[in-house]
Chain A
């Protein structure tokens, strides 16, 4: 009953005659009523699965088995960490993340620098550049599969190869990962561009005016004004893209299916194969998922620490 208030005293004033007793909710109760649905949803959909999957990572369990989870301690973690094949997939993911995020940063920042200057139809061009990131990754994957086709696709043609003469990007193990990187850059460089553009537009004009008065060179202006001012937003973009690169799944499944061989088998793709059909090794899959999570948290922390340093300097 702590939520219910008593009726206030009226001191005999007829105008303040007590109304029939009505129970009123306290502010605290109302507050809880508003928060409770969200909290319940959060606990049911996020917190509980998080801790339950942590528990499952210490068990031998298959989600489709009638048998209950069997405690195996650190067995699953030991299996994951001693599996050479999984380390190969981690290495492929690392290479992919480095190449994709690096190129997206360069290209995105470069585009933002170009589009910062207003010119005829610059708004329209900006909107057009943003279109790829609004598409479904699976659709993009399937679409680019056609574009990469050495016989009928346009990609090799644009590189100057005649039909059937150029490289088979998705068949060659040395090129397949680059094919995925190219598509990822095409899709997500606009995202980096968008964040950089908002950072560039927020730089006060007087900083440049002061620099011009001091006869600072364009390079000096870029290095000492533009880059430090944009760096926090740029780093946030890099952080998001790095996290996404470690989670990349749908684009790869649509484009290469993880092949040829294990050339594009990113860790998230292999996690799917372990945790879902046909293997359904839920316990092992949970352990791998937690290892990926720890890795992403560690990388994110590095970024955030750098970000804080930059903010301190700016």
Chain B
């Protein structure tokens, strides 16, 4: 090997090693923030967690209290969001995967738009719901909040339903259809059963996503210092209360905000990790 090629070889080796070191460093960089954020949230949250959180309503400025009304409001609106968004999403996803074969351009347009909706800023969806469900009525309401959350669940469920149904082998459809079963029954009783783990995953991931959503609720459900008597009134939710309390100058409100942040984080992370593990297990078991 001549001196020149030796040098060149060495330079290539050095570049390679440097790139690898930087790759490891970048990964460490990402994991560093994850650790820091989780540690801060968990340690502050655990300190602020008391039984009162679950039994008392949000306090006036500087006072003591809990998050009961916010937890209940979040639960109500998230359920409403899933109840509206999931059936529509499953229906739309089924159309894309099963019933649109004769209109490929239309199908691809909807898939494209759904993908954009999936990544669209949630604040924009909140403003949209404000203009259709709050301004005409004249007041903020839990219904509007649930509707805004439904618009966030919708594209997630459409996408996962579409993708899961496309994974169901054609031989199942053919076998069912050859027995003379109408298509809607084939879809509901055969395909949905085969695709159930995937569709359920989509719905749960949608739920995980809306549990921490704040921006769309600011313009729709607003907030409420007391437990809302009905969904027709402004409704408190954990993320909005966390936002309001964290931005305030009161120490007792900060503690409640940390407690809320802790509850939301633990719920969301358990839900998304658990869902992925469930899907993984079902995929392994289901793979024949």
Q: Do A and B bind each other?
A: no
Binding site for A on B (CB under 8 A): none
Binding site for B on A (CB under 8 A): none
